[in-house]
């Protein structure tokens, strides 16, 4: 923490920002929740706009739904543990390795084989039939309401705060449907929920890894086996909203869906969604075509953890699945496979990663890597992705480090002496920035300076989360107390030199490539490398 600048910066994970960002990260909450937490801690009232009558009515209805579900959950739980009717359901759960501790942790219950048991019980507690209907606990028949869930193991579905928003009921025999869920409503939307998030939250946050399975029983069985960082997407349709929930507390997600066709297709889709949210993604393939529930019950915790440890990188799984879906024994099939793989390559965060996967695809399909690169270039242009050719080498780590250091040091000085920003425009327009986040900071800084409204707080407020973190790191750098103009000039010279060296290497490699392929552009690239070499010598000796 830096009290003088009212900023924090973590040198381990490179996160940074103001006090609100700090609370958001520590408590895994949004800005509004962070504001309320801070206000409550320091006894500051938070002004809220006056709610409309419709909003007040909807809020009361939502709270009443929560109360109704909680009461229903207690009834189902009591039916399982305290009545003779629940013995069959209890035996079923115990047979699947689900003990009393897990039953209590997940508030598991049993719905009696009756059309009116829940209606009657909750009616005696003051809940009206229309309230149970709104909660999805009962349904309307031809003449009257009846219990929706009957003779089923009842699994409450809770939001991350532990409030029950719905139920999933599993049959005890072979009748259908196997699972019966609460219908989706305003407060129960599966896209915005992850089953078991309330009990898995601490384990995920501690390990920074989440294991995502398909169904309730998969998640419950893994928790029963002692694997606590597990949640379920309640089906194979993993959504962006679910990825966002995980992104707040995890760095990596391991999908462990069923090994059938539907599960594999769902895994391919889920990888892209999770990667887009900024998560590292791997796919765990359960051996023998078993689902996680069956596998962990048969082979135990350590065997399942080994499956997770050996999980494949998400994009590798996507590529291999795509190839398997095409007949790559002929050219047409290979063309189709490459076309379907390109979207995954466009999701790569770096050119190095994309180039490596293109190399592997070329080897796997036994086709010219250059053909894949050319299709990749076309795809980047169509999709507006700003990338250089995969044949352009990425500078070595030392040069990247020097460039980044010079850029951050330059920005650190400009924050203290913003009038010097005008001296930088010509060089930076030519060299560009090594990171779009730094480019964003400079662009916003320029705009505020030109509007004569620059302050650190206004700059921080105008940046996104990545920009605020980078800004916090930049502000930790030492700034010269004098000769700021000379220091800025030195930074610019370093950036210009790094840029020219990278340009030289790029054109040199292109010249080598064209020479090998007898391309007439060889001489043009050779001349360009000599021009750049002369310019470097002229500027720096």
Closest of 347, 370, 348 to residue 359, by C-alpha = 370
- Please report the pLDDT score of residue 89 as a whole number: 95
Q: Which SS3 state, helix, strand or coil, does residue 62 take?
A: helix
- Please report the pLDDT score of residue 11 as a whole number: 58
- Please report the pLDDT score of residue 530 as a whole number: 86
Q: What share of the chain is helix, strand, coil (3-state, %, to 5)?
A: 60, 10, 30
Q: Considering the chain, what percentage of its residues have pLDDT values greater than 70?
A: 89
Identify whether the C-beta of residue 165 lies closer than 8 Å to the C-beta of residue 187: yes
Site of tokens 């039916």: 79
Residue 277 DSSP class: T
d(CA 163, CA 319): 40
- Please report the pLDDT score of residue 422 as a whole number: 87
pLDDT in tens, 396-450: 433 445 778 888 888 988 988 888 888 898 889 888 888 888 989 999 998 998 8
Spatial CB neighbours of 450, under 8 Å, sequence gap ≥ 6 = none
Is the whole-model pTM more than 0.75? no
pLDDT in tens, 22-33: 777 666 566 667
Q: Which residues of the chain have pLDDT under 50?
A: 387-400
d(CA 460, CA 471): 7
In DSSP terms, which residues pair with 8 in a beta bridge? 17
Identify whether the C-beta of residue 216 lies closer than 8 Å to the C-beta of residue 168: yes
Domains and CATH numbers, the chain: 8-41 (no CATH), 60-188 (3.90.980.10), 192-317 (3.40.1360.10), 326-382 (no CATH), 397-540 (1.10.860)
Identify whether the C-beta of residue 454 lies closer than 8 Å to the C-beta of residue 441: no
Q: Which SS3 state, helix, strand or coil, does residue 168 take?
A: strand
Tell me the angle at which helices 331-346 and 351-365 cross, rounded to the nearest 10 degrees. Answer: 160
- Please report the pLDDT score of residue 392 as a whole number: 38
- Please report the pLDDT score of residue 28 as a whole number: 59
365 burial type by CB count under 10 A (0-12 exposed, 13-18 middle, 19+ buried):
buried
Tell me the angle at which helices 351-365 and 314-324 cross, rounded to the nearest 10 degrees. Answer: 30
DSSP assignment string, 450-478: HTT---HHHHHHHS-HHHHHHHHHHTTS-
Pure H helices in 366-455: 369-382, 397-416, 425-431, 436-450
- Please report the pLDDT score of residue 12 as a whole number: 56
Strand order across the 164-171 sheet = 109-111, 152-158, 164-171, 179-181
Identify whether the C-beta of residue 402 lies closer than 8 Å to the C-beta of residue 502: no
- Please report the pLDDT score of residue 200 as a whole number: 95
Q: How many residues comprise the chain?
A: 541
């Amino acid at each position: 923490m830096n009290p003088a600048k009212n900023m924090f910066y973590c040198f381990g994970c490179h996160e940074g920002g103001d006090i609100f960002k700090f609370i958001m990260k520590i408590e895994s909450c949004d800005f509004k929740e962070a504001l309320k937490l801070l206000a409550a801690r320091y006894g500051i009232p938070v002004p809220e706009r006056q709610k409309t009558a419709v909003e007040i009515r909807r809020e009361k209805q939502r709270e009443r739904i929560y109360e109704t579900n909680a009461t229903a959950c207690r009834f189902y739980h009591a039916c399982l543990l305290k009545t003779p009717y629940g013995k069959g359901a209890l035996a079923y759960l115990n047979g699947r390795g689900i003990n009393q501790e897990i039953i209590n942790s997940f508030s598991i219950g049993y719905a009696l084989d009756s059309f009116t048991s829940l209606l009657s019980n909750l009616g005696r507690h003051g809940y009206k039939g229309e309230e149970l209907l709104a909660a999805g606990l009962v349904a309307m028949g031809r003449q009257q309401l009846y219990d929706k869930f009957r003779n089923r193991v009842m699994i409450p579905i809770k939001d991350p705060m532990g409030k029950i928003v719905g139920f999933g009921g599993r049959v005890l025999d072979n009748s259908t449907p196997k699972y019966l869920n609460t219908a989706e409503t305003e407060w129960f939307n599966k896209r915005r929920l992850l089953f078991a998030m309330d009990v898995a939250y601490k384990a995920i946050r501690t390990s920074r890894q989440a294991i995502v399975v398909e169904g309730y029983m998969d998640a419950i069985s893994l928790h029963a086996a002692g694997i606590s960082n597990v949640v379920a997407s309640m089906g194979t349709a993993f959504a962006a909203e679910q990825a966002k929930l995980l992104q707040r507390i995890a760095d990596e997600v391991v999908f462990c869906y069923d090994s059938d066709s539907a599960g594999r297709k769902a895994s391919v889709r889920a990888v892209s969604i999770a990667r887009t949210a900024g998560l590292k993604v791997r796919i765990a393939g359960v051996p023998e075509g078993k689902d996680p529930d069956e596998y962990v019950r048969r082979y135990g915790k350590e065997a399942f953890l080994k499956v997770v440890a050996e999980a494949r990188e998400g994009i590798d799984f996507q590529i291999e699945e795509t190839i398997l879906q095409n007949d790559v024994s002929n050219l047409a099939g290979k063309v189709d496979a490459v076309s379907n793989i390109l979207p995954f390559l466009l999701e790569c965060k770096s050119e190095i990663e994309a180039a490596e996967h293109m190399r592997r695809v070329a080897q796997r399909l036994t086709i010219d890597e250059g053909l894949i690169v050319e299709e990749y270039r076309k795809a980047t242009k169509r999709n507006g992705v700003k990338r250089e050719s995969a044949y352009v080498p990425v500078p070595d780590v030392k040069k990247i480090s020097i460039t980044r250091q010079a850029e951050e040091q330059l920005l650190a000085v400009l924050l203290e002496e913003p009038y010097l920003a005008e001296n930088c425009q010509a060089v930076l327009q030519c060299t560009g920035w090594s990171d779009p986040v730094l480019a964003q900071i400079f662009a916003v800084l320029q705009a505020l300076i030109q509007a004569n409204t620059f302050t650190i707080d206004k700059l921080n407020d105008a940046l996104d989360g990545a920009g605020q973190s980078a800004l916090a790191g930049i502000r930790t750098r030492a700034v010269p107390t004098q000769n700021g103009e000379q220091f800025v000039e030195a930074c610019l010279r370093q950036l210009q030199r790094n840029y020219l060296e990278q340009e030289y290497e790029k054109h040199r490699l292109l010249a080598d490539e064209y020479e090998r392929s007898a391309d007439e552009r060889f001489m043009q690239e050779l001349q360009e490398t000599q021009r750049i070499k002369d310019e470097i010598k002229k500027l720096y000796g």
